[in-house]
Amino acid sequence: MTLMTKDDYIASLRRMKKRVFIMGQEIENPVDHPLVRPSLNACAMTYELPQQPAYADLMLAASNLTGQQVNRFTHLHQGTADLVAKVKMQRLLGQMTGCCFQRCVGMDAFNALDSVTYEMDQALGTEYHARFRQYLKYVQEHDLVVDGAMTDAKGNRRLKPSQQADPDLFVHIVDRRPDGIVVRGAKLHQTGALNSHEIIVMPTQTLSEEDRDYAVAFAIPADAPGVLMIFGRQPSDTRKLEGGQLDVGNREFGGHEAVIILDDVFVPWERVFMAGEYAFSGLLVERFAGYHRQSYGGCKAGVGDVLIGAAQSLAQYQGTDQASHVKDKIVEMIHLNETIYACGIACSAEGKPTASGTYLVDLMLANVCKLNVTRFPYEMARLAQDIAGGLLVTLPSEKDFTNPEIGPYLEKYLRSVDRYTTEERCRMLRLLENLTLGPGAAAYLTESMHGAGSPQAQRIMLARLANLEEKMRLARRLAGIV
């Protein structure tokens, strides 16, 4: 087994024949498109770091399927040490890229599917688990990026999938053949879809018998016939098309989302992991959500480290770093960020094995982690913007700085502390703008709110898992109430 390098990964994407649309135009070469390339660079870091001895132990793991070293993003967690290493790896990559690096959803899908297919087979006599593990061996052996696709279009949220005016608003089986199934529908908010080799599709909610055709999980190549990808817009995204560096903020890295259309896509049976077993749809959603809510304890803390660094740097550049209220704001940002990370580590350390042997996080603590993530990054962004000042949103463009007549004026009047250049100050302002208002905010803020389920989803899980009866029993015992 050979692990791909960064260059190998980029070359592998060039060989694919995906149908990609960006701003209404079909794009033949998304690899080099300026709107896509920053996200590709971020995903490529998951290949670059394993090649560096300092990070290899964290980025690689011994596969329980083959015994060989694999990228941790393709690994099944074999203990709490693996769960903890996952969170540490995600924080590292968040620090390195300052954005979403896109492989977490696929990793979380692998681990959820492994345990659920095993339990499905035990209960129903199906053969999904062996199929899934054979597929995962293929992913590990070829070191592939896999997009995990869960969120359907959903249509009228009051109605079940089978009750929708348009049956395609949830991905479903439209034909069953001796050699496989045909599926139709769409998946929204697909992180890193254009940078993926494969797509794993899962149901988006708990389903009942009348919705059995919507209880479907499978894997397809990202360039399979009938798959279309429509690139999503981000705030200030056209700055990437301007050719400069200063105004984009994060010069090298970024994320992306896409709508994936599945237009009568054929899936051979060996790549089908659920086909009508609706009673297990909720379990798959719950376990995937648990893993993905754990993930945010790592990646958001890593990006938070970058945000804290940007805020502290601007305070130094502008001469406010010794002000007591600025120091207090930085400390509060640190406190919030480390609380996010602590929850990610805690739910990992409290993980337990499932029947398949793959370890599952503590679901209560994973949901606490994600519920914190729906709040804390927003407060950190507010504090960072407070420290940065109004120039964060009034800074002239890079072209103004290079204009021979007005550039010198900007250089003169935007200079602050002598030891730092005007350019350094402007670059840091643009980075902070990127993280809290621009393209980076899509991953750091909006994804923090809605990714892996919106806040109400975590509240529902907390109410379900809290065991209030036991808490009342404890209180009654101490109060002397029989």
pLDDT in tens, 336-374: 999 999 999 999 999 999 999 999 999 999 999 999 999
The reply to whether 189 belongs to the active site is: no
What b/e readout covers 15-34, taking b as 16+ CB neighbours within 10 angstroms?
eeebbbbbeeeebeebbebe
Given 299, 347, 369, 426, the catalytic residue: 299
Let me know if residue 478 belongs to a domain.
Answer: no
Name the band, by pLDDT with cuts 50, 70 and 90, for residue 19: very high
Q: Is 357 strand, coil or helix?
A: coil
According to the model, what pLDDT value does residue 469 have? 97
To 5 degrees, how large is the angle CA 64–CA 70–CA 76? 45
> Known catalytic residue: 100?
yes
Domain contains 129: yes
Regarding whether 321 and 239 lie in a shared domain, the answer is no
The model's confidence at residue 1, banded by pLDDT at 50, 70 and 90, is low
Q: Considering the candidates 191, 204, 358, 436, report the single residue annotated as catalytic.
A: 191
Residue 343 among the catalytic residues: no
Is residue 159 domain-shared with residue 100, that is, in the same domain?
A: yes
Helix orientation angle between 324-349 and 281-318, rounded to the nearest 10 degrees? 160
C-alpha–C-alpha distance, residues 205 and 202, integer Å = 9
Cα separation of 187 and 109, whole Å? 15
pLDDT at 425 over 90: yes
What is the pTM assigned to this prediction? 0.97
Residue 275 in any domain: the answer is yes
Same domain, 130 and 269: yes
Task: Looking at the structure, tell me whether residues 264 and 320 fall in a common domain.
Answer: no
Confidence of residue 410 (pLDDT cuts 50, 70, 90): very high
| Phi and psi angles of residue 181, each rounded to the nearest 5 degrees, phi first | -125, 160
Instruction: Decide if 479 is inside a domain.
Output: no
Among 119, 257, 277, 433, the one annotated catalytic:
257
Q: Does residue 1 form part of some domain?
A: no
409 is catalytic: no
pLDDT of residue 482: 84
- Condensed to tens digits (0 to 9), the pLDDT of residues 298-341 reads 999 999 999 999 999 999 999 999 999 999 999 999 999 999 99
Q: Do 264 and 300 sit in the same domain of this protein? A: no
Among 279, 302, 325, the domain boundary falls at 279
In terms of domains, do 379 and 328 share one?
yes
Do 273 and 289 have their domain in common?
Answer: no
Do residues 355 and 230 share a domain? Answer: no
Q: Kindly state the helix (H) or strand (E) to which residue 325 belongs, with its residue range.
A: helix 324-349
Instruction: Give me 268's structure tokens.
Output: 């051979």
Q: Name the active-site residue from 118, 135, 296, 341.
A: 296
Q: How far is CA 28 from CA 99, 134, 242, 318, in A?
A: 26, 32, 21, 45
Final residue before a domain boundary, out of 279, 309, 343: 279
Structural domains of the chain, count: 2
Q: Are residues 259 and 362 in the same domain?
A: no
Q: Looking at 244, 279, 314, which one is the last position of a domain?
A: 279
Burial 122-161 (b: 16+ CB within 10 A, else e): eeeebebbebbbebbbebbbebbbbbbbbbbbebeeeeeb
CATH number at residue 113: 2.40.110.10
Which listed residue (43, 99, 104, 426) is catalytic? 104
Q: Give the active site residue among 43, 99, 100, 343.
A: 100
Average pLDDT over residues 461-478: 97
The 10s digit of each residue's pLDDT in 233-280 is: 999 999 999 999 999 999 899 999 999 999 999 999 999 999 999 999
Rounded mean pLDDT of 369-387?
98
Segment 36-57 shows an average pLDDT of 98
Q: What is the rounded end-to-end Cα distance, in angstroms, of the chain? A: 63
- Does residue 420 carry a catalytic annotation? no
pLDDT at 475 over 70: yes
pLDDT band at 393 (very low <50, low <70, confident <90, very high): very high
Three-state secondary structure call for residue 152: strand
Give me the mean pLDDT over the 114-139 stretch.
Answer: 98
pLDDT of residue 354: 98
CA torsion angle for 427, 430, 432, 433 (degrees, to 10)?
A: 170
Q: Is residue 328 part of a domain?
A: yes
Instruction: Tell whether 150 and 187 lie within a shared domain.
Output: yes
Judge whether 481 lies within some domain. Answer: no
pLDDT (0 to 100) of residue 2: 80
Residue 28 lies in a domain: yes
Among this protein's residues, is 206 annotated catalytic? Answer: no
- The domain that holds 336 is classified in CATH as 1.20.140.10
Q: Are residues 275 and 291 in the same domain?
A: no
Mean pLDDT of 134-139: 98
43 is catalytic: no
Active site residue 99: no
Check whether residue 287 and residue 407 sit in a common domain.
Answer: yes
Domain residues for the domain of 19 are 6-279
